[in-house]
Structure 1
Amino acid sequence: MQIGELAERAGVSTRSLRYYEQQGLISARRAANGYREYEEADLRLVAEIRALLAAGFKLEDARPFVDCLRAGHELGVACPESVAVSRRKLAEIDAEIRVLVRRRAEVAAQLAQARPGCELFPSEGTI
């Protein structure tokens, strides 16, 4: 399939596909006319990349997942390298959650100090 069809089916722009190709995550073959040609399997790779990006992974983090799929695994997280990346990402998310919980407590304490007895989550229409 050509780049436009892959872009449409994957729900991405052709620019994104070119960028993924530039980063070595997908690869196109060139037709005699110079057009990029993609395999059906590339659709799965792009879907994996998009899912990882949507989950907060960086593009470079997608490499072991893509490599795992290319190696014939049904899931991109089936390989030790992608498991390691997933574990690292979970640790990052946990750290972000701890920071947010701490920030929330600070804001709640400031509110309680400024407005003693103030409900943190007042019913609609009251402050």
Structure 2
Amino acid sequence: MRGRVLVVDDDPLVSSALRRTLAREHDVEVVVSSRKALDMLVAPESLYDVILCDLMMPEMTGMELHAQLAAAAPEQARRMVFVTGGAYTPAAQSFLERVSNPRLEKPFEPDKLRERVREWVAQVRTA
């Protein structure tokens, strides 16, 4: 099942790797700015199956993006998957414990990533 995936990551190497890994099976868009992602995600015509979002970004963190989406586009906020490097600030750790969104630890194995994204797309499409 081909899904629509948005990658939100300020690191071009990570976002490029995610796009390459997923592009054969899904329609993948990449943005390097969380503010641009917010503008895209609140637009009524923008509905993504999975949003892979870096937790720690300079202009707006994944936590802040999630909070704004939860208020403006809750359906999209529920589709977020947080991409993390494993080192958490206390605020990030607390946030990840509070939300039910899945997380993806870097570095990720391409086959496992494809499998997980397939599962997440299927969950959204059958809900």
Fold equivalence (TM over 0.5): no
Q: How high is the TM-score relative to the length of structure 2?
A: 0.31
Higher helix proportion, which one?
A: 1
Answer with 1 or 2: which has the greater Rg: 1
Q: How high is the TM-score relative to the length of structure 1?
A: 0.31
